[in-house]
């Protein structure tokens, strides 16, 4: 497939999703600075304080609420399951976007350059028919992209933090029905734990990223037979890696011109827990040969 980029920012819609926290104005300002001609849409919640926010459109969604993750002992933790919130706010923003290309940002993820413009329409050679969902690959940051062999409890786990690509492809990914978050968060409260149990500290069925990607695969005819986070076989590793390599590009934040709220990423998790761009390239060459 012929490469496209770089594109003009006038052909880009930027969707910033999430609550109107203190970080949101800075994210909006960063888009205005580095992509001044882009369409800028903020997708937040009813009643949010957005006075003075320099957006082309602000969408007020009904908050679907969230459930807490359970801690190791099975008690509610302080970390929320925001799967439905993420689905509602992202899908609403993408549905109202009018440009052919789109960038999905969180409310705490500002731009630090216009680097994303050079990634649109890139890396679309080496595509194969099985597990091919998008017309063009969606580019994502490497944070929360879990290598299957290194992290066997997190297959089918592309990142959900920053996405960029064709608007139609992003909609194809995020057009997912809401889930029963209570059932998902407490999955192993009502069911026997698997054997072997590679995630003994977890009570949930799937993590946010897995919910989105597995639902997308299923809508497009690929029921991969992944029963829960921690379901692990060598064949599932192969299918997980092939599905991600065939539909996503994995890049470091600096390559895409974004700043993450986590600070120094290599201090947050060990270095082998990220999907680094060179490793993605090698995996793509192996799994998607021409």
Query: CA angle 166-99-142, nearest 5°?
Result: 40
Structural domain count, the chain: 1
Residue 163 included in any domain: yes
Residue 279 included in any domain: yes
Q: Which residue has the tokens 């692990």?
A: 232
Residue 275 included in any domain: yes
The model's pTM is: 0.93
Q: What pLDDT score was predicted for residue 282?
A: 85
Residue 2 included in any domain: no
Q: What pLDDT score was predicted for residue 2?
A: 47
Which are the contacts of 114, defined by CB distance < 8 A and separation ≥ 6? 9, 34, 35, 257
In this structure, are residues 105 and 258 in contact, taking their beta carbons and an 8 Å threshold?
yes
Rounded Cα gap, residues 174 and 168, in angstroms:
10
Rounded Cα gap, residues 138 and 135, in angstroms:
9
Number of CB atoms found within 10 A of residue 33's CB: 13
- Asked whether the bond before 6 is cis by omega within 30 degrees of 0, the reply is yes
Give the DSSP letter of residue 263. -
Picking from 61, 68, 98, 89, the residue whose alpha carbon sits closest to that of residue 176 is 89
Residue 112 included in any domain: yes
Q: What pLDDT score was predicted for residue 1?
A: 46
Residue 1 included in any domain: no
Which are the contacts of 192, defined by CB distance < 8 A and separation ≥ 6? none
Residue 225's domain comprises 9-287
Rounded Cα gap, residues 38 and 19, in angstroms:
21
pLDDT tens digit at each of 290 positions of the chain: 445 657 899 999 999 999 999 999 999 999 999 999 999 999 999 999 999 999 999 999 999 999 999 999 889 988 888 999 999 999 999 999 999 999 999 999 999 999 999 999 888 777 887 889 999 999 999 888 888 888 888 999 999 999 999 999 999 999 999 999 999 999 999 899 988 898 999 999 999 999 999 999 999 999 999 999 989 999 999 999 999 999 999 999 999 999 987 655 556 666 666 778 888 888 888 877 76
Rounded Cα gap, residues 216 and 79, in angstroms:
25
Residue 4 included in any domain: no
Residue 244 included in any domain: yes
């Amino acid at each position: 497939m012929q490469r496209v980029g770089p594109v003009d920012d006038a052909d880009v819609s930027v969707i910033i999703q999430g609550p109107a926290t203190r970080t949101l104005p800075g994210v909006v300002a960063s888009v205005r600075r580095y992509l001044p001609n882009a369409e800028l849409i903020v997708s937040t919640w009813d009643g949010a304080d957005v006075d003075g926010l320099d957006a082309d459109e602000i969408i007020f969604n009904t908050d679907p609420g969230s459930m807490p993750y359970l801690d190791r002992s099975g008690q509610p933790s302080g970390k929320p399951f925001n799967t439905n919130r993420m689905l509602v706010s992202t899908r609403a923003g993408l549905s109202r976007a009018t440009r052919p290309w789109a960038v999905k940002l969180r409310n705490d993820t500002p731009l630090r350059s216009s680097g994303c413009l050079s990634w649109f329409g890139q890396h679309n050679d080496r595509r194969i028919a099985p597990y091919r969902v998008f017309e063009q690959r969606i580019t994502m940051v490497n944070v929360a992209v879990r290598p299957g062999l290194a992290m066997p409890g997190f297959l089918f786990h592309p990142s959900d933090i920053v996405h960029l690509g064709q608007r139609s492809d992003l909609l194809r990914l995020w057009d997912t029905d809401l889930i029963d978050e209570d059932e998902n968060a407490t999955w192993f409260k009502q069911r026997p734990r698997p054997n072997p149990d590679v995630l003994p500290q977890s009570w949930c069925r799937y993590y946010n990223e897995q919910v989105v990607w597995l639902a997308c695969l299923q809508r497009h005819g690929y029921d991969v037979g992944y029963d829960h986070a921690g379901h692990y076989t060598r064949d599932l590793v192969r299918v997980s890696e092939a599905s991600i390599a065939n539909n996503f590009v994995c890049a470091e934040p600096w390559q895409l011109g974004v700043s993450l709220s986590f600070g120094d990423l290599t201090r947050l998790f060990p270095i082998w827990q990220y999907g680094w761009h060179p490793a993605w390239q090698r995996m793509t060459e192996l799994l998607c040969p021409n």
